[in-house]
């Protein structure tokens, strides 16, 4: 249960549909009469509200990072579950982990209502079936080492609720990311609830806008924070990257030149000897060891090379 927050009193909530994502924005009611530049200025002004709303959720985001890291250290996974824009953002964040931090693709996963086809073409009806969300958790053999984060701007997507209910039944810890007032039921059900209140959208109900931006910001913080805590960053350098293309070769060489003080030619040699793994190459140079011994030292340090003496 997320005991760190409480919903606002009913009197403080909007009338009719209480979801902020469904309210009309009084500042954009004449948007259809504006010039292109005026539209840009209006959208930009609304977007400035997003960072502050995300900042208000800093404690909950940090709590989610701790839950993810605890799961990772026990061999668990981070699973995002969503539909539509929310689902696509989860899949996007998960897909960035292997090339950025050299993670196993299973470690962070994005699960989306409607599957792969819904990434390319909207499958709106796919979100209405909680049993499909539950089946997705069964298919992935979710267990008590995993952390499952449901993402639904409105907080009501049946597919997401079905997935989280089954995940809890299977012993996983769960969280919910939404952009409206969390209900008492939601707070009671999950280990953490993250609710950046970005307010009504410029175009009513178009949650790919402010809600989508807030969601992307939160997921950036969550996955980045977890990877930093897992030792995949040295200083502020992504040293766990694997050289797989020319761009990453250049980046890896520059990281080595800066961290261990070698020239470009020596950096290239170290990378080749390390099998293209920057972290291994750093330890090889710092300790004067071969790749196998460097990998052993990294494993003993739990992946955090900054802790090596």
Cβ count within 10 A of residue 107: 20
Sheet holding 108-112, edge to edge: 108-112, 78-82, 147-151, 173-177, 192-194
DSSP 29-84: TTGGGS-HHHHHHHHHHHHHHHHHHHHTTHHHHHHHHHHHHHHHHTT--EEEEE-H
Three-class DSSP category at 96: helix
253 is an active site residue: no
CA-angle at 173, arms to 95 and 193, nearest 5°: 80
Instruction: Identify any residues that bridge with 277 across adjacent strands, giving them in sequence order.
Output: 242
Q: With contact defined as beta carbons under 8 Å apart, do 117 and 48 qualify?
A: no
Choice among 96, 266, 268, 293 that is catalytic: 96
Other Cβ atoms within 10 Å of 139 Cβ, number: 9
Marked catalytic residue, from 22, 127, 201, 253:
127
CA distance 162 to 134: 5
For 179, other C-beta atoms within 10 Å of its C-beta total 30
- Is 127 tagged catalytic? yes
What are phi and psi for residue 156, nearest 5 degrees? Answer: -120, 0
Active-site positions? 96, 127
């Amino acid at each position: 249960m997320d005991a760190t927050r409480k919903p606002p009193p009913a009197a403080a909530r909007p009338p009719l549909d209480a979801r902020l994502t469904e309210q009309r924005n009084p500042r954009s009611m004449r948007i259809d009469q504006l010039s292109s530049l005026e539209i840009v200025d209006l959208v930009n002004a609304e977007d400035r509200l997003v960072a502050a709303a995300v900042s208000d959720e800093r404690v909950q985001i940090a709590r989610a990072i701790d839950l993810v890291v605890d799961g990772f250290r026990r061999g668990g996974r981070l699973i995002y579950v969503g539909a539509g824009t929310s689902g696509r953002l989860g899949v996007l964040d998960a897909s960035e982990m292997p090339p950025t931090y050299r993670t196993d693709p299973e470690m962070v996963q994005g699960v989306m209502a409607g599957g792969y086809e819904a990434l390319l073409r909207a499958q709106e009806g796919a979100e209405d079936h909680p049993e499909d969300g539950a089946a997705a958790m069964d298919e992935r053999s979710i267990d008590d080492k995993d952390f499952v984060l449901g993402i639904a701007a409105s907080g009501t997507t049946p597919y997401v609720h079905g997935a989280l209910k089954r995940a809890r039944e299977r012993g996983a810890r769960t969280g919910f990311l939404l952009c409206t007032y969390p209900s008492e039921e939601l707070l009671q059900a999950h280990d953490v609830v993250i609710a950046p209140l970005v307010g009504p959208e410029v175009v009513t109900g178009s949650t790919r806008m402010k809600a989508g931006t807030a969601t992307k910001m939160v997921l950036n913080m969550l996955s980045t924070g977890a990877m930093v805590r897992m030792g995949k960053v040295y200083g502020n350098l992504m040293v766990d990257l694997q050289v797989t293309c020319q761009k990453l070769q250049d980046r890896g060489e520059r990281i080595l030149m800066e961290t261990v003080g070698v020239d470009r030619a020596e950096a290239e040699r170290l990378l080749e000897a390390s099998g293209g793994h920057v972290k291994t190459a750093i330890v090889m140079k710092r300790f004067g060891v071969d790749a196998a011994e460097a990998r052993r030292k990294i494993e003993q340090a739990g992946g955090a090379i900054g802790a090596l003496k």
